[in-house]
Amino acid sequence: LEARLEQAAMLKRVVDAIKDLVQDCNFDCNDSGIALQAMDNSHVALVSMMLKSESFSPFRCDRNIALGINLTSLTKVLRAAQGDDILTLKAEDAPDVVNLTFESPESDRLSEYDIKLMDIDQEHLGIPDTEYAATITLPSSEFSRITRDLSALSESVAIECTKEGVKFTCTGDIGNGSVSLRQHTNVENDAKSVDISLTEPVALTFSLKYLVNFCKAAGLSDRVRLCLSNEVPLLVEYGLSNNSYLRFYLAPKIGD
Amino acid sequence: GPKQQTLAGFFSRP
């Protein structure tokens, strides 16, 4: 494997966004790119990352390899990279280590690190292709704000989407709160628009603790997409350039 | 309150 990223910031942000949710992960490398799928310990949330080969330049992967990496270790090494450093990942066939180099674009500084790999027996779940009943695309900062504000009151949020819009509601010991958003187009800045596409109304309840965690990815993208269908896991997607993405799935809370 | 589900019930094991 040899994969060169123009901006180390991308990998730094991805790892920052997922390291509190999952600890030891296989980075599955093949000629289409680098993928990661991992569940949190309680099997309530799942992270699915895809960094397409087009996000790297150059990208070369001659043989499929799984790089088992502890994210705490990776975070320690990535802390040594500046955001605008050029980052190159390298691994041999049947590797013991993954090699990372950080090159400063404006100086002759080159740093190089090896991280020991681990054997990780990871359970891969098949995620069915779902036609979601409601898809909401909104500014990622808006979603962060809603989850943060409501998490101050309650552990759970009810998300209701109808043709009127989407409503986030919570009930807690001190009282209750809600935030409603309507579909709207911001003509001056499309990134601030709220798009709602609905085939049938949905109402689901989710743990705010996890949603707050997912919002650590907000720095990766101006926009976030929420996909919901009744009684199935929520998909929260942060799109990256070149069709790469960071997705989170969250199992709902059901019943009373 | 409502009960937290896990993903195993929704996503299939290979």
Local confidence pLDDT in tens for the 256 residues of chain A: 999 999 999 999 999 999 999 999 999 999 999 999 999 999 999 999 999 999 999 999 999 999 999 999 999 999 999 999 999 999 999 899 999 999 998 989 999 999 999 999 877 888 999 999 999 999 999 999 999 999 999 999 999 999 999 999 999 999 999 999 999 999 999 899 999 999 999 999 999 999 999 999 999 999 999 999 999 999 999 999 999 999 999 999 998 6
Length of chain B: 14
B5, A42 contact by CB (below 8 A): no
pLDDT of residue A220: 97
The larger pLDDT score, comparing residue A53 to residue B13, is at A53
Closest C-alpha to A150, from A129, A171, A128: A171
Q: Do B12 and A156 make contact, defined as CB atoms within 8 angstroms?
A: no
| DSSP-based three-state secondary structure for A84 | coil
For residue A143, what are the β-bridge partners? none
Peptide bond into A128 cis (omega under 30): no
Interfacial residues of B (vs A; Cβ cutoff 8 Å): 1-14
Mutate one of A171, A207, A254 to test the B interface: name it (highest B CB count within 10 A).
Answer: A254
pLDDT of residue B14: 66
Cα B6 to its chain centre, rounded Å, is 3
Q: Which residues of A192-204 are buried (b: 16+ CB within 10 A; e: fewer)?
A: bebebebeeebeb
**What is this model's ipTM?**
0.94
Closest C-alpha to A228, from A135, A166, A141: A135
| DSSP-based three-state secondary structure for A12 | helix
Q: How far is B2 from chain A (nearest CA, A)?
A: 4
Q: Do A207 and B4 make contact, defined as CB atoms within 8 angstroms?
A: yes
Q: Do A46 and B11 make contact, defined as CB atoms within 8 angstroms?
A: yes
For residue A166, what are the β-bridge partners? A161, A181
pLDDT of residue B9: 85
Q: Do A126 and B4 make contact, defined as CB atoms within 8 angstroms?
A: no
Q: Does A228 touch chain B (CB under 8 A)?
A: no
* Chain B residues whose beta carbon lies within 8 Å of the beta carbon of residue A253: 1-5
CA atoms within 13 A on the CB side of B11: 25
Instruction: Give the list of residues 6+ apart from residue A189 with CB closer than 8 angstroms, or none.
Output: none
Length of chain A: 256
In this structure, the strands spanning A253-254 and A245-250 are: unpaired
Closest C-alpha to A4, from A100, A134, A113: A100
